[in-house]
Amino acid sequence: MKKFLLAFAAMCFASLASAQTFDHSHAAFTALLKKHVVLADGGKSSKVKYVEFKKDQPQLKAYLDSLSSVKEAEFNAWTKPQQIAFLINVYNGQTLDLMLQNYPVKSIKDIGSVFDNRWKRKFFKLFGQDAFLDKVEHEMLRKAGVYNEVRVHYAANCASIGCPALREEAFVADRLDKQLEEQAVRFLSDRSRNRYANGKLEVSQIFNWFKEDWASGYKGFDGKTPAITSREDYFSRYAKLLADSPADQQVIADKKAAISHLEYDWNLNGAN
């Protein structure tokens, strides 16, 4: 029993030491994003300088290797904000690497085929296992009952114009709520992707593809947001972002606006 307790203590100490050495500031990723991401329209959208980023791909790979080296037990010991920030950065970093590996392309959908889906392709490691983008997004970030945080949809970027903007910095635990909310405001304020027009709410396809996420009693990862049980409920809280006139804003606030979905633009979010 004594040997077992000593071994267990050593394992816990090793996990703690590892957690203390991991850079939760994700500074290396922020440096690359600040260098190669260009904000547009007041930050409502962004573009990536892929040609220049290609030169820094070794630095990106080094950062991604640091993420891949994290053990599952270490990850499980982190706070929810640390876990969410980590997973979003994994998704965005690996998506960027995938695009750089295949650049030049006109769209992420040009990568792979029916039998080699780019979102299901196992091209990186996570917790010592082969991983893929859909695993990170749908099986981890969106997993029911784990984070309950719909704003991850504004943070995980699919390298496409239709997607919410790739943020110009890494996500970090100590500012995660502020970062996610800013991403939400940026996206919902973008009239090219979300707007009240023609007597109805015309919104992004993400609100169609993942409508169940907004109907799941969303309270945010800290549990402080009053529960949201529908898209209408959610949009009512952002009525002033989605419409210009007070009358239209009131229709949204009263949850009476009909909802339709705009065509998604899968073209690459590349800068000239």
Taking only the tens place, the pLDDT of each residue in 217-239 is 888 888 878 888 999 999 999 99
Q: What is the pTM of this model?
A: 0.91
Taking only the tens place, the pLDDT of each residue in 54-78 is 999 999 999 999 999 999 999 999 9
Average pLDDT over residues 43-56: 97
Taking only the tens place, the pLDDT of each residue in 169-199 is 999 999 999 999 999 999 999 999 999 999 9
Average pLDDT over residues 13-41: 82
Cα–Cα distances (Å) from 42 to 38, 82, 184, 187, in that order, read: 11, 28, 14, 11
Taking only the tens place, the pLDDT of each residue in 126-145 is 999 999 999 999 999 999 88
Q: What is the mean pLDDT of the chain?
A: 92
Q: How confident is the model at residue 17 (pLDDT cuts 50, 70, 90)?
A: very low
**pLDDT at position 20, please?**
55
